[in-house]
Amino acid sequence: MSDAGIAARLKQLRLPAIAAPMFLVSSPELVVACCRAGIVGSFPAPNLRTSEELGAWMAQITAGVQKPSHGEWPVAPWALNMVTHSTSPRLPSDLEQVAEHRPPIVITALGSPKPVIPTVHGYGGLVFADVISEEFARKAADAGADGLVLVCSGAGGHTGNLSPLVFVERVRRFFDGHIVLAGAINTGDAILAAQVLGADYAYLGTAFIPAEESLAQDEYRQMLIDCGPTDLMVTRAFTGARASMLVPSMLRKGLDPAEVEFKVAKFNFTGRQNETVKPWSGIWGAGQGVGRIERVEPAADIIDRLAAEYAAARRRTAELCA
Ligand SMILES: Cc1cc2nc3c(=O)[nH]c(=O)nc-3n(C[C@H](O)[C@H](O)[C@H](O)COP(=O)(O)O)c2cc1C
């Protein structure tokens, strides 16, 4: 049984938004900053080399979110992202850490949510599954996921190719749980648009890469400030799955984007333990919301900007509907 308490806390978010998990970008400081600024913060388990290190990050976050929020809103719940693909050998020992540290939400990616559901529901947590197609959405719903993250075209990192205009409507036909919409969302207007389409929350990755609390290198942050949506390429060359990457980061590594585009790497997601990751370290991901990035700033300032835009978009929409 999942916990109505966490679902209730999600209804009290300052903004209906989740700062999405990002490999080698999300830090415990970023997670805590997002939660204290009123939106869900998250990080991926493969950011850590061992399950013990994963436990230490979760303990740090648990302590961090005990502090009060920066405003009148409550501190938001946080989420752990786990890769459940069969090439992920650490799943059993990571799950032991999950049982101990009890992340309120676990978001599964690149595999079925099934292996994590007994543990997470066992302590009253919620399980969301990241999906890129209606078929995977149905499978995750049938497996018992409490929520679905619909990754659409324009998303950073591993991306989908469905339009959000279609994907939410298709999934709402058979799923009445939490729906999170992902892909190129980097304005308060787009967060409201996600709700208008029928989603409950927006999932924002790229927007938080330049945050002061992220693990991104300074050169990566500057590249995001300098780039727009036409500086991206979707390719399977780096992880085997379709991923949206910054072309200037390929050029910087001496790669020819034209050669890279149609290459397909062997499918493998064991994160840092995977030797095949090394050749593409320094090739950086981003989604089409990259053009909205103007500066490096604290996560709380990014969320203040999104909240102000969201409030303005709501006022405009109210006028439209009047
Ligand atoms: C640099 C980068 C790393 C990412 N790493 C992960 C990851 O480790 N696990 C995961 O489930 N999704 C990962 N994603 C995808 C995000 O969680 C999210 O789906 C995506 O960023 C949403 O699109 P947006 O970047 O356009 O906001 C990553 C995305 C980016 C940009």
Q: Is the CB of 44 under 6 A from ligand 1?
A: yes
Q: Residue 234's closest CA among 176, 163, 154, 313?
A: 154
pLDDT for the residue 269: 57
User: What backbone torsions phi and psi does residue 83 show, to the nearest 5 degrees?
Assistant: -85, 120
3: phi then psi, degrees, rounded to nearest 5: -90, 120
Q: What integer pLDDT is reported at residue 273 of this predicted model?
A: 39
Q: What are the φ and ψ backbone dihedral angles of 301, each rounded to 5 degrees?
A: -70, -35
Provide CB contacts within 8 A for 149, sequence distance 6+. 107, 128, 129, 130, 131, 180, 181, 182, 203
d(CA 247, CA 228): 11
Block means of pLDDT (10 residues each) for the chain, 322 residues, are 77 98 97 98 96 98 96 97 85 96 96 96 98 97 98 96 98 98 98 98 98 97 98 92 95 92 75 46 94 98 98 96 91
Structural domain count of the chain: 1
Residue 200 in domain = yes
Task: With respect to residue 68, please indicate whether it lies within any of the assigned structural domains.
Answer: yes
Prediction pTM value: 0.95
Question: In whole angstroms, what is the distance from residue 305 CA to residue 288 CA?
Answer: 18
192 lines ligand 1 (CB under 6 A): no
C-alpha closest to that of 212 among 30, 20, 18: 30
Say if CB 180 and CB 195 are below 8 A apart. Answer: no
CA of 22 to the centre of ligand 1 (A): 5
Would you say the CB of residue 286 lies under 6 angstroms from ligand 1? yes
**Structural domain of residue 311, as residue ranges?**
4-215+290-321
| Residue from 39, 94, 158 whose mutation best tests the ligand 1 pocket (most atoms within 8 A of CB) | 158
Return d(Cα 236, Cα 196) in angstroms, integer.
32
Question: Is residue 228 in some structural domain?
Answer: no
Instruction: Give pLDDT, residue 262.
Output: 86
Report how far ligand 1's centroid is from the alpha carbon of 232 (Å).
Answer: 14
Q: Which residues pair with 128 in a beta bridge?
A: 107, 147
Token couple for 257: 């984007």
What's the rounded Cα separation, in Å, for the pair 148 and 171?
A: 9
What is the predicted pLDDT for the residue at 258? 92
Residue 300 lies in a domain: yes
The answer as to whether 174 is a domain residue is yes
- Residue 24 CA to residue 103 CA, distance in Å, equals 19
- Asked whether residue 204 is assigned to any structural domain, the reply reads yes
Q: What is the pLDDT of residue 270?
A: 52
Distance CA 45, CA 91 (A): 10
CATH number of the CATH domain containing 195: 3.20.20.70
| DSSP 8-state secondary structure symbol assigned to residue 68 | P
Centroid of ligand 1 to alpha carbon of 20 (angstroms)? 6
Our answer on whether the CB atom of 204 is closer than 6 Å to any ligand 1 atom is: yes
Amino acid occupying residue 260: V
Q: Whose CA is nearest to atom 10 of ligand 1?
A: 21
Burial bucket for residue 184 (CB in 10 Å: 0-12, 13-18, 19+): buried
Q: Would residue 220 count as lying in a domain?
A: no
- The ligand 1 atom nearest the CA atom of 206: 25
Distance (Å) of CA 289 to CA 35, 60, 82, 196, 234: 22, 30, 24, 19, 14
> Could you tell me if the CB of 25 is within 6 A of ligand 1?
yes
The reply to whether 258 falls in a domain is no
Is the Cβ–Cβ distance between 83 and 271 less than 8 Å?
A: yes
Tokens 């099934």 belong to 114
Parallel/antiparallel/unpaired status of strands 41-44 and 17-19: unpaired
Whether 232 lines ligand 1, by a CB cut-off of 6 Å, is: no
State the Cα–Cα distance between residues 142 and 283, nearest whole angstrom.
Answer: 36
Q: Is 111 in the pocket of ligand 1 (CB under 6 A)?
A: no
The Cα–Cα gap between 288 and 276 comes to 26
What is the predicted pLDDT for the residue at 3? 53
